Structure 1
Amino acid sequence: MLHRISAGAIVENEGRVLLVRHRRIGKYDFWVAPGGGVKDDESLEAAAAREAKEESGLDIHVSKLIYIEELVNPECRHVKFWFTASLLGGSLDVSHPETVAEFIVEAAWLTPEEIKDKTVFPPVLSGRYWQDRVAGFPTPVSLPLRQMQFW
């Protein structure tokens, strides 16, 4: 089984979270905070920033490690490191070739209310994240191992 290290960014701006929509008609339709595989000798923080730029068109500042997520599917075991991040600039754009290849069709700023009606990853964005945020993310949280629904 392959192993993959990934990094992602939970970017907040004006009470909304940046999410990208992965959609393949007849296969899946879900939203996720931007992120992906770490390349070569890239740091986790640099990977999260690069992935956010590729998937959303936005420049971000990566801050604090808040979640470690373990995922598994029949082909691969993933460990994903989620960081808080803030917006530096740019405009929403999903035209990067790697973004198109991953079936990312939209990037948007969503409120907690808008998130509740969608399939969202990491799943903590539908609930726990908001309580952890109020607490100031005192320490990184290791999330339970979960089976990937889509890959």
Structure 2
Amino acid sequence: MDKAREEVLRLYGNRLRTRVCGICVMDDRLLMVRHRGIGVTDTFWCPPGGGIQFAETAHTALEREFLEETGLHIKAGSLLFVNEFMHPPLHAMELFFTTQIVGGEVKVGIDPEMSEHNQIITEVQLMSMEQIKAYPADEVHRMFQYCETLDDVFLLNGYLHT
């Protein structure tokens, strides 16, 4: 097992986390972050987001996570849906929100919880739904199983059942 995967499991494994994730659309493409150390192929694409810290609101956490991961300053918007991410030993309740960009430029950011040598964010990219769907299902967030178009993302609501 590589060092990044070991660190992911040490930091996030065998406990329930509450995460926030943001849906950010620019030029009919969705902002996506590629992670290593997650999944069987070591590639996992998902919208930007991360864990809520103690005494931090969901909106504040999302705004912080976006800046850390993508270099963008955003304003968190409405709650769209909830997803239960369960890939033992990883388990998280994910709250997905709309976002509005208010500044910054897209860049590959960091995960400050990870050590400098084991950073898991490898790429930040605006992707069309066709690009997202071209990846194997286990390399993209499962929310895309419910979507054929970018507009479908905004129709997701409630709890996404497995």
TM over 0.5: yes
Q: Distance in 1 between matches of 2:79 and 2:111?
A: 28
> Which residue pairs with 1:144 in the alignment?
161
Post-superposition offset of 1:97: 5.5
Q: Separation in 1 of the partners of 2:44 and 2:153?
A: 23
Q: 1:11 to 1:122 in 2, by over 3 A?
A: farther
Does residue 1:117 correspond to 2:150, yes or no?
no
Please tell me whether the aligned partners of residues 112 and 126 of structure 1 are also in contact (alpha carbons under 8 angstroms). Answer: no
Q: Is the 8 A contact 1:68 1:82 kept in 2?
A: yes
More strand by percentage: 1
Does the 8 A contact of 2:35 with 2:120 survive in 1?
yes
Name the counterpart of 1:149. Answer: none
**Structure 2 length as normaliser, TM-score?**
0.74
Name the TM-score, length of structure 1 as normaliser. Answer: 0.78
- Structure 2 residue aligned with 1:131: 152
Q: CA deviation at 1:74?
A: 3.2
| Deviation for aligned residue 1:132 | 5.2
Read off the aligned partner of 2:144 and give its amino acid letter.
Answer: V
Contact 1:33 1:122 in 2 (8 A): no
Q: 1:17 is matched with which residue: 27, 30, 47?
A: 30
> Could you list the runs of 4 or more consecutive aligned residues of structure 1 that deviate by over 3 angstroms after TM superposition?
73-77, 99-102
* Distance (Å, rounded) in 2 between the aligned partners of 1:59 and 1:14: 17
Report the 3-state secondary structure (helix = DSSP H, G, I; strand = E; otherwise coil) of the residue aligned with 2:55.
coil
Q: Deviations over 1:88-132 (max 9, x none)?
A: 221122243627644111111111222111232143377166335
> Contact conserved, 1:19 with 1:34, CA < 8 A, in 2?
yes
Distance 1:144 1:86 in 2: 27
Aligned twin of 1:38: 52
Secondary structure, counterpart of 1:28 in structure 2? coil
Distance 1:53 1:94, change over 3 A: same
Quick one: distance in 2 between partners of 1:130 and 1:123? 13
